[in-house]
């Protein structure tokens, strides 16, 4: 089966963490990779790393773009077409949480920002990426970033979880609509991953202990664990897979969610 050499792929949030690791993985297999994010220096440094990993004439470029701003996402998708005139894949990785705490004391502005970044950012990416793929006439693959927090409750991480649950449902509904166009839409749902976003947990403490206790594979995941899952879903090996959310969480989904109230000594 052919791989992804020569494919043009956009990775949002590609300046660090899972996004960067995935972009490196894709370039190492010969894909032309475009990354986007909000911090130009971080993107420039990441692009150098991606370019160093590239093989077979693959290229790397970046675009400064905020995924909550549709015109900026449209420009990032357009930049992805520069090497080959098309967009074969999109990994909507950008996300994060600006709210942790009880629903009873929720900072609504922080909740709204969390939902906007994660869920609305993904909606915009699906809209713009799928429009470009439709214009090509022969489909493509979109992978969204959900989370274990969106599949089973993690106390005090509910705002992030609500947004990520929406992303999994977005993958299902978009897959249903876009399938006749040959566009596949799937999601990954990582558990605890050792990256910049989760470093305040993976450094150690009661919350990390709680995570480990609830995982059959009792270890912290790596960015490369997730990158491999994204590579499968964005490549031809998964050509008959759409509308799925792939858990990459050491089996955490088989037990209960980590209790984020432990961050507050509750």
Torsion angle in degrees (nearest 10) through CA of 116, 119, 121, 126: -150
160 classed as catalytic: yes
Neighbouring C-beta atoms of residue 209, cutoff 10 Å: 12
Instruction: Please tell me which residue in 62, 160, 211, 260 is annotated as part of the active site.
Output: 160
Phi and psi at 188, nearest 5°, equal: -115, 150
DSSP codes, 193-246: B-SSTTHHHHT-SHHHHHHHHT-SS-S-B-HHHHHHHHHHHHSGGGTT--S-EE
Alpha carbon distance 170, 43 (integer Å): 27
Chain CA centroid to CA 103, Å: 26
Place of tokens 């989370």: 147
Contacts of 65 (CB under 8 A, 6+ apart): 12, 36, 37, 38, 72, 73, 75, 76
Question: What amino acid positions are annotated as catalytic residues?
Answer: 160
């Amino acid at each position: 089966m052919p791989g992804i050499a020569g494919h043009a792929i956009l990775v949002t949030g590609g300046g660090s963490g899972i996004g960067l690791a995935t972009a490196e993985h894709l370039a190492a297999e010969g894909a032309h990779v475009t990354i986007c994010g909000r911090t130009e220096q971080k993107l420039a440094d990441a692009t150098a790393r991606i370019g160093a990993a590239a093989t077979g004439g693959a290229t790397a470029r970046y675009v400064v773009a905020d995924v909550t701003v549709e015109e900026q996402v449209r420009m990032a998708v357009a930049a992805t077409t520069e090497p080959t005139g098309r967009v074969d894949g999109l990994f909507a990785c950008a996300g994060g949480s600006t709210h942790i705490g009880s629903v009873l004391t929720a900072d609504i502005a922080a909740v709204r920002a969390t939902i906007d970044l994660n869920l609305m950012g993904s909606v915009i990416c699906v809209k713009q990426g799928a429009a470009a793929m439709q214009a090509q006439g022969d489909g493509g693959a979109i992978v969204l970033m959900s989370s274990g927090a969106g599949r089973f409750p993690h106390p005090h991480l509910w705002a992030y979880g609500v947004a990520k649950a929406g992303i999994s449902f977005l993958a299902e509904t978009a897959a249903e609509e876009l399938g006749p166009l040959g566009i596949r839409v799937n999601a990954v749902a990582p558990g605890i991953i050792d990256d910049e976003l989760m470093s305040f947990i993976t450094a150690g403490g009661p919350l990390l202990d709680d995570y480990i206790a609830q995982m059959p594979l009792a270890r912290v995941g790596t960015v490369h664990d997730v990158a491999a899952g994204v590579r499968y879903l964005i490549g031809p090996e998964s050509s008959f897979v759409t509308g799925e959310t792939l858990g990459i969480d050491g089996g955490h989904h088989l037990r209960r969610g980590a209790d984020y109230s432990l961050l507050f000594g509750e």
